[in-house]
Amino acid sequence: MWFMRQAGRSLPEYRRVRADVPMLEACARPDMITEITMQPVRRYDTDAAIFFSDIVVPLKAIGIDLDIKPGVGPVVDDPIRDADGIKRLRDLEPGDIPYVTEAVGQLVGELGDKPLIGFAGAPFTLASYLIEGGPSKNHEHTKALMYGEPELWDELMRRLANITLGFLRTQIEAGASAVQLFDSWVGALSAEDYRASVLPYTSWIFGQLTEYEVPRIHFGVGTGELLSLLSEAGADVVGVDWRVPLDKAAQRVQPGTALQGNLDPATLFAPWEVVADRTRDILSRGRAADGHIFNLGHGVLPSTDPTMLERLTAFVHEETAN
C-alpha cells in the first residue's frame, strides 16, 4: 500500500521544507526531492515511495513558459493551439533533468528494499494544460482541437508521448522500481473519444516501457466507463477511483490486471470506525482482482490529519498480514 500525494501539504514537515520555495524550484533540487519523498515513508511506513515531482516538470525542462500557482495549479503563459506552438515541444533528454537522475539515485540508496515509484503525466492531461493554459472544467479548447483538427492533435500527442516516455525512462534507468502514468483529466472523455484520440499514444508509451520489465500503473480520475480501455492500453495495474467498487472494476479490466485503490480521500475526515469499515470492505472487494495495491481513490487532501493515515497504514498491514 501507498498513498497518492502521500508526500505533500498534509504533512507539517513538508510545509516546513517547502516554506518560501516555489513548487518547480523544489522539483529541481535533488536534496529537497529526496527529503520530501522520504517524509511519508518515515512517518507512515508505506510499502513504497512515490517520487516527488510534478507532471509539468518535463514541459518546464524543455523550455515551456509555465508556473505552478498556489491554489490554481499549472498555468501556461502562452497556450499551444496551433502548429507553430506544437513545434516548441522538443524531445526531453536526460541532460534536461539531471536533478531527477541524481534524486532517484539518492532515494534508491536510502530506501533499500523498499521500491520507489516513478511517475509522469499522460499525454492527454499534459495537452489539456498546454491548450487551455491551466486547469479546466470543460476542456473546451482541448476538445475543439481534438475534434476539429485531428492531424494537429496527432502531432501534439506524438510529441507529448515522446516527452512522457523520456521522463519515465530517466527515472527507471536511474533506479525506479515501478512507474505510474497519471491521466488526471481523461475522465472528461467518452469511451469512443478515448479509443480514437488517446489510447494509441498511451499504448505506445506502455509498449516502449516493456523492455525495462518494471510494473506499470495507469490511473485517471472519473474513469469508471474507461477502465477497460485503460487496461487495454497495456498497464500491469489500473488505478480505480472511489466511484467504482473494486469487485466491479475487476470485471471491466483485462485478465491478469491488478487494481490499485480505492478509498475516498474524504473518508479520512470521518470517525475512525467508518474508515475501518470502509477499508475492510475495499480489501474484501479487492480479492476479486488479480492483485490489489491498497491506495486512496485520488490524492491525499491537504487538510487530512496525518495521524489518520498513520492509523490507516497500520490497519491495512494488520488486516493483510496473513
Residues 255/236, Cβ–Cβ less than 8 Å? no
Answer for the pair 43, 304: CB distance below 8 angstroms, yes or no.
no
145 — phi, psi (to 5°)? Answer: -70, -45
Question: How many other C-beta atoms can be found within 10 angstroms of the C-beta atom of residue 41?
Answer: 21
C-alpha–C-alpha distance, residues 277 and 298, integer Å: 19
Residues 6 or more apart in contact with residue 270 via CB below 8 angstroms: none
DSSP per-residue string spanning 165-211: HHHHHHHHHHT-SEEEEEETTGGGS-HHHHHHHTHHHHHHHHHHHGG
DSSP 95: G
Q: Please, where are the H alpha helices in 45-178?
A: 57-61, 83-86, 98-111, 123-132, 140-148, 150-174
* Closest by Cα among 104, 93, 29 to 61: 93
Angle of the 98-111 helix axis to the 150-174 helix axis, nearest 10: 40
Report d(CA 85, CA 208) in Å as an integer.
Answer: 26
Q: Return binding residues for substrate.
A: 5-9, 54, 129, 184, 298
- Binding-site positions read 5-9, 54, 129, 184, 298
Residues marked active site are found at 5, 9, 18, 54, 129
